[in-house]
Amino acid sequence: MTANFRLSAMALALSAAWPALAQQAPATAPASEDESQRVVITANKRAEKQREVAGTVSVISGSDLERRGARDQEDFLKLTPGVQLNRGDPNNNGITIRGLSSQAAPESGGGQQNPSGRYLEDVPLASPIGKGLVADILPFDLDRIEVLRGPQGALFGSGSLGGAVRYLLAKPDPKSFGAAAQVGFTSVSQGKTAGSLYGMVNAPLSDVAALRVVAFDRTSPGYIDNKGTKTKDANEVRQTGGRVLVTVKPLRELTATFVASTQKTKQDDFSYVFGDPKKLEHDNPTLGRGTSQFDFSSLTVDYDLGGAMLTSITGYWKTKTNGVGDDTRLFGTLGLPMALPLVSRVSAGSSDAQSQELRLASKPGGNFSWVAGLFYQTNKGSGSGKQSDPSGAFGVVDLVDLKTKQDASESALFFDGEYSLGGGWSAGLGARAYKTKTSFQQTGTVFGGPSNSPVLAGGDDGTTPKLSVKYRFGDNMWYALASRGYRYGGVNEGPPPTPFKSDSLWNYETGVRLAPAPGVQLDLSAFLLDWTDAQFTYFALNGAVPFSGIGNVGKARSTGLEAALRWRMNPAFDVAASLASIDAKTTQDVKTLAGRAPVTIASGARLPGTAKLQTALQGNYRFSGPLGSAGRFNVTHTHVGDRVIDLTAFYKAPAYEALDLGLSFSKGNWTLAASLTNATDERGIMNIQGTPDGNKNFQQYYLQRPRTLDLSVRYDF
């Protein structure tokens, strides 16, 4: 497909949308897209109405994700105030919630747990030892995504300092047969066109059992040229996989759901551009290829005890990654005595985890709502990395050849409850008592010399409390919240291996949920995060080459305001707006290296990967389409302010915006949809990978996806 044809197709999709706005709205209004007054969520591990939770939870429905043509985290996280995506290569994105980011760049020399948790159902996906990928789950046939802002240490444990993202799957329906088939085409500005297939079947097996099967094969077309290998549109990504869910209900009181899923990602070249961030190109002498696989299974058993629900969640997941790349240009910036003609990189990693949670939760209703339980998780990880110089200029071919093994475990007891005091007042109290253990061992060579370590063991224990108070008046609510979160410590892989401590923070938050007029909802939240022993990437000179690792720099603080407004003007039209203003800074001096020179970063340095201002504006219009169809049109504008990418502020990313458009028509079992993301084709910089000394000759830019047209046809049986 030529570029001119792609642009014509985009223009056609837009021109089709605007005349429809003038058509008469359907006589029977569709269901409101803002049902948050009635939406029941499980962010506190028990059923609650979304707008009655003491805290901030954003919910994105699976149907809305599919209607928008969402592919990945880049498409849906920008709709959530206070949450930003620091993009990397596939399955290596960094998520920053409320300014909590230890490192924005995807390159790291330490095995560090993410500051924002990610969960599939209630099973934690992020490795506590920083090994392996964190899967960017394809958003097809999801029930919803819940984004929890603020630390979730009381109920979700480690690695949720800034908050957490929960994926909730659509479950088998035992009452009726259903199926869906969807075919789609994606075309990227200055890039290729690719097709995708999705399918779902829901089948009752008996009166007490049901099966749901999902399969997908999606290709994201390439759009970055590799001038070094003379490969056009080299960065194509293909995701294949599926899942099987089985629900059985042999007794009225007993329900069990088994999930088994797999997702494989194949990347043909790196997703960054080099040199001019306005040009979709880089010039590596080799292609940066990689594959990754994420396998997941869980068994959830619920037993109704009458006044409470007993739940057991058994989880297992495993990741495997393999990659090849080129570090010639990186080594050329390190001040070595000679230039190297070629430095290749080969890496591999794996991580697998088993977890078990057993909890007892109250039923909805009553003056006292509570949940209590225990949790245990083990994690094993291994990795290998080799950087080689075929010329042998330093007397060795393998410049760096390291292997690591890491183990970790976490055990915990938790409780969270809320009691109604009468007169609209209620108070909540929760806590999690935890204990962690870690071990680390490294073997290998650096520039021909041994870099081995004994088994280094560590661990931590403590308590993460949570306190809240709420006051309801009519359809409105005020709340105040104090909560604590924590994260594992670990060991750096650089020679010699050095440990770093766990870090923790307190969150102090207050907010209101207002319904000032019919169809209007306004949410306001203010917060202060006080971070202790904050883990950050640092650089140390241990021999010929500076190595990146993780260190505890002391203290940092993030303060901010989040606002969200939704106004349903009439049955056909609604608008929404959100804003997050965040000031995230260190509160004491930080000592590090810039290349080979010591540097002191003064207190007050901005934390990386966080914009001071982030906004999103949305409009949704429902109308009567042609041939008796039901039409929907949506427009979204997002703004992300300027950011620093590292704590030294060597690398800075300017503000960027995106305009997204969507149009769909549904009639009977058919749905035809078109979406145009980044309609203005802006080259927004989402991340930068650089060197310790801020070398301006080495900046690899990760950009927001160029203008992309998605067309899909879906049939529901």
Q: What is the pLDDT of residues 313-360, one digit of tens each?
A: 999 999 999 999 888 877 777 666 667 788 888 999 899 999 999 999
Residues 6+ positions from 5 with CB-CB distance below 8 Å: none
Distance CA 39, CA 30 (A): 17
Give me the pLDDT at residue 526, please.
97
DSSP strands (E only) in 290-397: 290-304, 308-326, 344-362, 368-388
pLDDT under 50: residue ranges of the chain = 1-37, 104-106, 108-109
Give me the pLDDT at residue 285, please.
87
Asked whether residue 514 is assigned to any structural domain, the reply reads yes
Residues 6+ positions from 685 with CB-CB distance below 8 Å: 277, 653, 654, 656, 701, 702, 703
Segment holding 11, helix H or strand E: helix 3-20
Give me the pLDDT at residue 540, please.
58
Give me the pLDDT at residue 10, please.
28
Helix (H, G, I), strand (E, B) or coil at 550: strand
Distance of CA 455 to the CA centre of its chain: 32
- Residue 614 in contact with residue 642, Cβ under 8 Å? no
Asked whether residue 327 is assigned to any structural domain, the reply reads yes
Give me the pLDDT at residue 589, please.
87
Distance of CA 148 to the CA centre of its chain: 12
Asked whether residue 351 is assigned to any structural domain, the reply reads no
Tell me how many domains the chain contains: 1
Give me the pLDDT at residue 594, please.
57
Give me the pLDDT at residue 541, please.
55
Asked whether residue 405 is assigned to any structural domain, the reply reads no
Give me the pLDDT at residue 543, please.
56
Give me the pLDDT at residue 14, please.
30
Return the CATH number at 179.
Answer: 2.40.170.20
Give me the pLDDT at residue 126, please.
72
Asked whether residue 676 is assigned to any structural domain, the reply reads yes
Residues 6+ positions from 570 with CB-CB distance below 8 Å: 25
Residue-wise pLDDT for 209-231, tens only, equals 999 999 999 999 999 999 999 99
Asked whether residue 493 is assigned to any structural domain, the reply reads yes
- CA 73-630-15 angle, 5° bins: 70
Residues 6+ positions from 269 with CB-CB distance below 8 Å: 222, 224, 226, 231, 234, 235, 236, 284, 287, 288, 289
- Residue 587 in contact with residue 575, Cβ under 8 Å? no
User: 696 lies in which domain range?
Assistant: 3-346+357-400+410-716
Asked whether residue 352 is assigned to any structural domain, the reply reads no
Distance CA 681, CA 190 (A): 10
Give me the pLDDT at residue 599, please.
75
